[in-house]
Every structure is written in structure tokens, then in C-alpha cells.
Structure 1
Amino acid sequence: MQHDPLSDVLSSVRLRGAIFYYVSCARIWVAETPPSPELADALSPGAEHVIAYHMILRGQGWAGVDGEPPLRFAAGDIVMFPRGDTHALSSAPGMRAEGGDQSWRATTRDHPKPILVALHDGVCELDAEVPTAQAETVLVCGFISCDLRPFNPLIGALPRVLHLPAADVGAWVTPMLGQAVAESRHRRAGSAAVLERVSEMVFVDAARRYLESLPEDGGSGWLAALRDRYVGRAITCLHACPSDPWTVDLLGQEVGLSRSALHERFVERVGMPPMQYLAHWRMQLGARMLREGNAPVAAIALETGYDSEAAFCRAFKRLTGQPPAAWRRANREGMRR
């Protein structure tokens, strides 16, 4: 069975679905979502990055982000903002929400999920719902947090706006998310946990479908690199055996390219040389072991391919700014909050 680098990264960056809104809209409406740092402060304190996604259960509307043309969405579509940009959803293109108190996101963070929001005629009502007969557009808005450090190559490889039309969304997504939301609204036992897991699955499915849409052997970025016949195989080798004593020569022999050709192609696709990529990935694996287990730093160093604890500690501090032991303490405290 071939190794799967995308699954490796998704498993290592701690996807966590946390906050969900059930938004019903009528007539003229607009909702604006702030950038990832503000969302993290309000919704997931301690999170490094927050991804917003919106699934359209009924109706249609427009999504807008600065620097990109307005995007029209319809029932069954998913619109996702992987890089955490400020964005607006609205009944007409180009609308922006008026300023005002935005603290409601933080003050409702611990409310039962999904949190009801009604949008109509420029008004935003919390814990309210537009009557079914009058709701022209209904959205489920989810927010997924993840780690960026030490190394998350996925977020920068995804577009600022990821639009999956209904025809491209997995057949299981709409009914499963709809059922999870319905169960949560009726406060069934365990429904909040189900909604979180489904939300994470929605993101994973979107990332996978975007990867499959990319052309083979073209483009730049980590996901495009996975589609490259040589660089993709090289990344797969590094992920499958990260502790092996790799060199560019050995990696080139494994994938069928000369040392110089592989180096050039890898830098062009990924943005860094193969051995630098391996060092970053080893640090990501080490960070996961530090956070989730109790193995001593020396054992983690050996498992990630370092000859000594000191060498691992130097490399880890270079990338994260903290020694491994201090990083472990800080991240475990963050997990408990």
C-alpha cells in the first residue's frame, strides 16, 4: 500500500472542528467573517489558524474576498477560505457588513451548537431563525482550527477561496452534515461531537478533491508537487521513511532522476530543497510526539532520524523558537485550556 503524504499532514496538524452557525437569511443580507487571528481569539483561543467553510443548504448568494472576483454559490455548494482571509457572504455581489460590536462570537462560543443566526434587511439576530417559509437562503457555517507550526505545508498550498460546486461535493457530505446539524439542534446525546467530526471530514474531503483537480506534472505548491511524477514520489519516500539517512543522491536513485534534476524540480515545485523539506517534516513528527506522548526527547530524536538529542534540540529550536521540553509544556497547557 502506497504511503499517503496528504493523510500524514492532515493527521499531524490537529484538525479540530469547534464552532458552528446555522444561518437563515431573507431579503437583503450580509455576513462578514474576520481574518483567522481574530477568529482564533474569539472562537478557539490558543489555535494557530482557523479555516472557515460554508455549506449552502438552500438558496443562493455571493461570496467575496478582497483581491478576488465575487463568487456565486448555490444550494449544495461548499465555499471554504483555507488561508483565513476576511470574507463576506451576501445576497448580492460586493456587499460588506457595517461596523459594530463583533464580540458576540466570543460571548456565544460556549452556547449549544449549532448557534442560530438570522440575517435579514441588514439585521443580524442571534439565537433566532428566519421562519422556514421566509428563509430564502440557509447556510451551515463551520470553523476548523489547525496547527501551522512547526510545519504545515498544506494551508499555503490551498487557494484563498476553495469553491466546490454541488456536483463536485462528495455524495455523502450534504446528507451527513445536514443530519449532524439536525441532531445537534435537537440536543441529542453526542451530537456536538458528531458535528465536529463531520466538519473535519468536510475539510479533508475538500482538500482531497482540490488535489485531484490539479494537473499532473505542472504548477507549484505542495499539493501540486504531490501530483508531480518525480517530486510526488520523492515526498512519498521521505514521509514513508523519515528517519532513514536520506541524501539527494539516494532520493534521486529512488525516483529515477539525477541529483541535480531532482533538486531543481523539487525546489521549483515545493519552494525548498529536498533535505530542507525532510528536516521540516522531521520536526513536525517530533512535535507531534512531544505533544501526544511521554517519550523522552532523546528517543524522539532517534525516531526522527537524528544521531543525538543535542542535534535534534538545535534543529527544533531553530524552527520553533523553543527547546523541545519547553515546547512540550506550552502545547500541553494549550491543549488543556
Structure 2
Amino acid sequence: MAGDALSDLLKTVRLTGATFFDIKAQDPWAVCSPAPSSILPKILPGADHLISYHVLTTGRCFARIIGKEAIVVEAGEVVVFTRSDPHIMSSNPDLQADPPTADVLEIASASQKPFHLNYVSDGSISAGLVCGYLACDALPFNPLLEALPQVIKAGDSKGDAGWLGQFIKLAVSEVAQKRAGSETVLTKLSELMFVDVLRRYVESLPPQHTGWLAGLRDPHLNKALALIHDRPASNWTVEALAKESALSRTVLAERFTKIVGMPPMHYLAKWRMQIASELLSTGNVNIATIAADIGYESEAAFSRAFKKMIGVPPSAWRLGVRPAPGSGSDEASETEIAPAAPAAN
């Protein structure tokens, strides 16, 4: 039984969340996002990608990437900046703001989460926000990030009856009551919220849309992706994937390449390297064991393929060395893609 490709990806790229700020504001107000480099080390040291989110719990506001058009956000909606581009949340789309100073971020990171920011002078609140972050690995291969737009806004058509409405209720309750474990609860809630936003985005994609998320929506490609994620060490061929995905070899190869953006065997090679990079970064498993776990019959074959595709050898990656842009190769030969021992299906 194949697993869930989206869940598997989120685990492998180490998705983790943190809720940093509870903001109460009074018109006119504006808040600018801090630089990702000041937040990432506090959420997931070693990660290289930051996602920002803002849940509007009360009122109405505007969200905009600096230099781009503003988006209206209503109470009960969440806006996600998938690349954490510099952005401003404000009561008016024309207002400007400076990023938080380093001392504010240090105090916030050292305090119980969320850190409360009060921009109200006379007790009249015009907007309330819970703002947080998600961190993950972008390198060497995170097809989800490549498939997402810069900004996603989501909300419940059912009001509080939908999942996001329930999330907001729970988040507001945790912020207000400050019970033991609330920081952990808010962190996990932010991760669940992000998955729900992704589901909604996938459901909203037009039929002609391409990309990794569009592949998840195609039942045959979803099955092929799940099989690759579930059994990366298997000695996969396009024929074997096609058979288990209920498609002909030709149709699977053409559809996979057109929608996902690369041939199935190329995807398999990149996914194996993503798993390897995560194991190298987070554990003490020796390189020979990692090679076997992802389908390589020898440490030498794995090391050659890793260095060619990623740009640095596995031993260097383990030490935190990251390749210069363009140093790796997106192409892989058939022997580098599938030099596996007999499949353990």
C-alpha cells in the first residue's frame, strides 16, 4: 500500500512551525516582516527556507509583498507568503513600515510564544493577528516549493464551521489562556494549518495547471509519486511504475514529464538524493548504509551520483558544506538513477 506523497515530502524536508507574534493593532497601523535570516536559526537551525503566515482573527487588513499590489484579508482568513518575501501587513495599502529591530526579535525568541505586540493606544482594537513561520529544507530537492505561488490566501466559506475557523478559535484560545504547553500546541496547529492551505490550493488549481501539486491531483500520477516516495530503494523502471499506476509505459512517461516537469526516473534520482541529504544532515548513519537505504548497491556509486547531482560529496554535505549555485547537474545517467540491488517490494 503506497503512502501519501505530500505527507512524506513534508516529513523529509523537515517542515516545522513556530508562532512568534500575537498582534493587536489600532488604525492606522503597519508591520513589516523581519528578514528570514533573523528567524530561521530560531526555528530550525540548518534549514534554508522560511515560510511566513498571518491569521487575521479580528478586523480587516491589507497584505502586500513590497513593490507589489496589496491583497485584502478579512477576519477568519490566513495569508501565506511561501518564500517569505519582504512584506507588510497594514490597515491601509499605502502605509510603510520598517522591519523589527534585532533587539525586539531577540526578546521575542527568548520569551514564551507567542510574543505579544500591542499597537493600541486607547483600548479600541481594529485588527488582531497571529503571525508565525514555517521552516523547511529547500535543498537539494523540494518540488513543493517550486510549485507554490508567492502568496496564498485561504478562508472558510462555512465561517467558523470549517477547519480554518476551528484553527483560529483554537489559536485565539491558546494565546489568551496561556496554558502549559500552549507554545507546542500553536506550533503544531501552524503545521496543520499549512497542510490544510495546501489542500485548498490543490483543489483550486485549474485543469490545465502543471507542477508537482497538479501531479498529486491526477490519480495515476499520485499513485506513481506515492510509490516512489514509499519505496525509493526499489529497482524501479518506468514499466514497473506504469503497471502499478494502471497506465501504459508511454502514457505514464509522457504525462509524468508534462505535468510534474521531469521524467519519472529523473524524479526518482532527485528524490533519493533528498532522502540522503536529510539522513546526512540529521543523523549519524554511515554513508554505506544510506546508500543501501535509497537503492544504491555500493557507497562509491552513491557518492559519485550524489556529487554529480548535488555538487558536493556526501561527506561534505554532512559537515554543512552547501554547493555553489549551478555546481550540480540536474541530469543523471540510467546507471546513476537506478543502480539498485534487486527491489525489496
Pair 1:83 & 2:83 matched: yes
CA separation of 1:283/1:24 partners in 2, compared to 1, >3 Å: closer, same or farther? same
CA separation of 1:136/1:206 partners in 2, compared to 1, >3 Å: closer, same or farther? same
Q: 1:272 aligns with which of 262, 272, 286?
A: 262
Question: In the alignment, residue 178 of structure 1 is paired with which amino acid?
Answer: V
Pair 1:208 & 2:199 matched: yes
CA separation of 1:178/1:2 partners in 2, compared to 1, >3 Å: closer, same or farther? farther
CA separation of 1:286/1:192 partners in 2, compared to 1, >3 Å: closer, same or farther? same
CA separation of 1:296/1:42 partners in 2, compared to 1, >3 Å: closer, same or farther? closer
What is the match of residue 178 of structure 1?
A: 172
Question: In the alignment, residue 182 of structure 1 is paired with which amino acid?
Answer: A
Pair 1:102 & 2:101 matched: yes
What is the match of residue 187 of structure 2?
A: 196
Question: In the alignment, residue 203 of structure 2 is paired with which amino acid?
Answer: E
Q: Distance in 2 between matches of 1:319 and 1:37?
A: 26
3-state SS of the aligned residue for 2:51?
A: strand
Pair 1:228 & 2:218 matched: yes
| Identical counterparts, % of pairs | 41
Q: CA RMSD in A?
A: 2.6
Question: In the alignment, residue 192 of structure 1 is paired with which amino acid?
Answer: E
Deviation of the 1:37 alpha carbon: 4.4
1:81-160 aligned within 5 A: 81-97=81-97, 99=98, 102-108=101-107, 109-119=109-119, 133-160=123-150
Q: Distance in 2 between matches of 1:101 and 1:295?
A: 40
- Unaligned regions of 5+ residues in structure 1, if any? 120-128, 332-337
Q: Distance in 1 between matches of 2:34 and 2:149?
A: 18
What is the match of residue 289 of structure 2?
A: 299
Q: Distance in 1 between matches of 2:43 and 2:4?
A: 31
Deviation of the 1:256 alpha carbon: 3.8
**Which piece of structure 1 moves more, 315-324 or 88-97?**
315-324
3-state SS of the aligned residue for 1:176?
A: helix
**Which piece of structure 1 moves more, 62-71 or 271-280?**
62-71
3-state SS of the aligned residue for 1:322?
A: coil
Q: Distance in 1 between matches of 2:271 and 2:174?
A: 35
Provide Cα deviations, 1:270-311, integer angstroms capped at 9, x if missing partner: 222111111111112222333444332112211111111111
**Contact 2:2/2:223 (<8 A) preserved:** no
- Unaligned regions of 5+ residues in structure 2, if any? 322-345
**TM-score computed with the length of structure 1 as normaliser:** 0.84
Q: Distance in 2 between matches of 1:175 and 1:84?
A: 25
Question: In the alignment, residue 193 of structure 2 is paired with which amino acid?
Answer: V
Q: Distance in 1 between matches of 2:53 and 2:17?
A: 11
